[in-house]
Chain A
């Protein structure tokens, strides 16, 4: 690894930790100040290291620079800004500044602060897409161009979302803490939702490039693991279930990728390429998730994923069990996309006609009208029923909802295939 890559990796690893500690120091209303300070510290490190090479303890080096900068900021602007933090007061005293810096930069405090940062970023006063953008920016060290690539939107758009998120936090005076008591359950649900969204941004196709997408999945797992390791959060059933779901899905990530940003379906994935270590890890998380007897959509989705991962081959998948899990899932969440996924299983257990009927029964199809898998699934089901003309018509509709040339190309080649059989 060359020095530039080494520095980049190090920065990405340490960025979120430093931001979290400094946000606690300056107060949640000063997130941007924390970002500026970390940015400066990293630029300084980059300049030094490119000239003189990596120091013996690069992480310690960055922390030292960050500590000094924090101290300067707190003392330089102490009469101008309201930091609303006892830490800032301690950093203004000759006696307590150094012991306080050592304290807040200890491993345990850093882990707790990342947790607090998650709860601050994913506060209900911040809109869901801003939550995810801010989490990526602060906790994962993603740059604005990287976030905009991940979301397939403009940098300007992401910049606006971040500004809005920081403003929401300031205006609502959101404290930098993990909520306690009854509020915790609700807020934890919101954090997990945001992490799941982050994961799905990475996991589902036609968004950004593969490397960034895989990183999104890794980051959402890393953040969920911080929650799982926390001592202040005791009810972790849903956390473990979400982790199981993410880890089991990611174990198949690389074997899912086909040419031109396409997804290879389960039947045609090379099982030898599945990551067995991750599958084991996912199963352990799933066991932990079931200890407290709770059932959330994460539990059910993770169990479904475990079925796929542990079946020795495609033909031994227990479709009936999976259909039952989907039936159970629909009692909690009968969103159109879940109904669509259930219909795919129904085709395995019963037949394509049954599945098509189930699709027809979905009441609100508005969400599906822009969802490509809805069309490809319908087409496939008609094809199985030998209704080639219907299959082709559905695919022609699908062509209208995508602007991506490579996807259009794939749809067209399928239309050609069906037409030849016709």
Chain B
């Protein structure tokens, strides 16, 4: 068993491209999908993120703000999964109803495990 972070990215607010009815249907589908993951014991956590925020660049104590552009591709939320392998995590990601209803991308990365202290 290994843990994975899935970062979901869409262009702008991912729900905005949908009508209120479509939004409702989408949320329902996501609920069923997440319910299945909970039941299977695969989900450690999943949270959506607010659309506003900040981007910060820093180098040796010198910071530069932004640009934060919420109409460009932004992280809209994350899933924290437990899976047997990267392949399984990818399959779980592909089953996310977000891909049925809109253009989205996901980054799936294993969480580094502690292997003693140097």
In the complex, the chain A residue whose C-beta lies closest to that of B31 is A99
B contact residues around A2 at 8 Å (CB) = none
**Is A96 a contact partner of B34 (Cβ separation < 8 A)?**
yes
Q: What total of A-B pairs shows CB separation below 8 Å?
A: 36
Cβ of B47 < 8 Å from any Cβ of A?
yes
Cβ of B116 < 8 Å from any Cβ of A?
no
The stretch that binds B, out of A87-95, A199-207, A243-251, A377-385, is A87-95
Within 84-112 of A, Cβ neighbours of B (below 8 Å) are at 86, 89-90, 93-96, 98-100, 102-103
Cβ of B77 < 8 Å from any Cβ of A?
yes
In the complex, the chain A residue whose C-beta lies closest to that of B37 is A99
**Is A95 a contact partner of B38 (Cβ separation < 8 A)?**
no
Cβ of B83 < 8 Å from any Cβ of A?
no
The answer, among B35, B44, B77, for a CB contact under 8 Å with A102, is: B35
Known contacts A95-B30, A95-B77; decide if A89 and B45 are in contact (CB<8 Å).
yes
Cβ of B48 < 8 Å from any Cβ of A?
yes
Q: In the complex, what distance in Å separates the CA atom of A13 from the CA atom of B112?
A: 47
Q: In the complex, what distance in Å separates the CA atom of A95 from the CA atom of B77?
A: 9
Q: In the complex, what distance in Å separates the CA atom of A363 from the CA atom of B55?
A: 83
Closest-CB distance, B79 to chain A (whole angstroms): 8
**Is A90 a contact partner of B38 (Cβ separation < 8 A)?**
yes
A contact residues around B48 at 8 Å (CB) = 93-95
A contact residues around B44 at 8 Å (CB) = 86
B contact residues around A90 at 8 Å (CB) = 38, 43, 45
**Is A93 a contact partner of B35 (Cβ separation < 8 A)?**
no
A contact residues around B102 at 8 Å (CB) = none
The secondary structure that dominates the A interface is helix
A contact residues around B35 at 8 Å (CB) = 99, 102-103
**Is A93 a contact partner of B31 (Cβ separation < 8 A)?**
no
A contact residues around B34 at 8 Å (CB) = 95-96, 99
Contact with B along A209-220 (1 / 0, CB 8 A): 000000000000
In the complex, the chain A residue whose C-beta lies closest to that of B39 is A103
**Is B45 a contact partner of A93 (Cβ separation < 8 A)?**
yes
The answer, among A93, A102, A103, for a CB contact under 8 Å with B46, is: A93
**Is B39 a contact partner of A95 (Cβ separation < 8 A)?**
no
Q: In the complex, what distance in Å separates the CA atom of A103 from the CA atom of B32?
A: 10
In the complex, the chain A residue whose C-beta lies closest to that of B33 is A99
**Is A94 a contact partner of B39 (Cβ separation < 8 A)?**
no
B contact residues around A103 at 8 Å (CB) = 35, 38-39
Q: In the complex, what distance in Å separates the CA atom of A89 from the CA atom of B43?
A: 11
Q: In the complex, what distance in Å separates the CA atom of A223 from the CA atom of B82?
A: 34
In the complex, the chain B residue whose C-beta lies closest to that of A108 is B39
Closest-CB distance, A389 to chain B (whole angstroms): 74
B contact residues around A86 at 8 Å (CB) = 44-45
Q: Which of A90, A93, A96, A102 has the most CB of B within 10 A?
A: A96
Q: In the complex, what distance in Å separates the CA atom of A386 from the CA atom of B110?
A: 88
Closest-CB distance, A356 to chain B (whole angstroms): 64
**Is B45 a contact partner of A98 (Cβ separation < 8 A)?**
no
Q: Which of A94, A95, A100 has the most CB of B within 10 A?
A: A95
Q: Which of B32, B34, B45 has the most CB of A within 10 A?
A: B34
**Can you sample 16 A-B contacts with CB below 8 Å?**
A86-B44, A90-B38, A90-B43, A90-B45, A93-B45, A93-B48, A94-B47, A95-B34, A95-B46, A96-B38, A96-B43, A99-B34, A99-B38, A100-B38, A102-B35, A103-B39
12 other A-B residue contacts (CB within 8 Å) besides A98-B31, A99-B31:
A93-B48, A94-B47, A95-B46, A95-B47, A95-B48, A96-B34, A96-B45, A96-B47, A99-B32, A100-B38, A102-B31, A103-B38
Residues on B facing A (Cβ under 8 Å):
30-32, 34-35, 38-39, 43-48, 77
Residues on A facing B (Cβ under 8 Å):
86, 89-90, 93-96, 98-100, 102-103
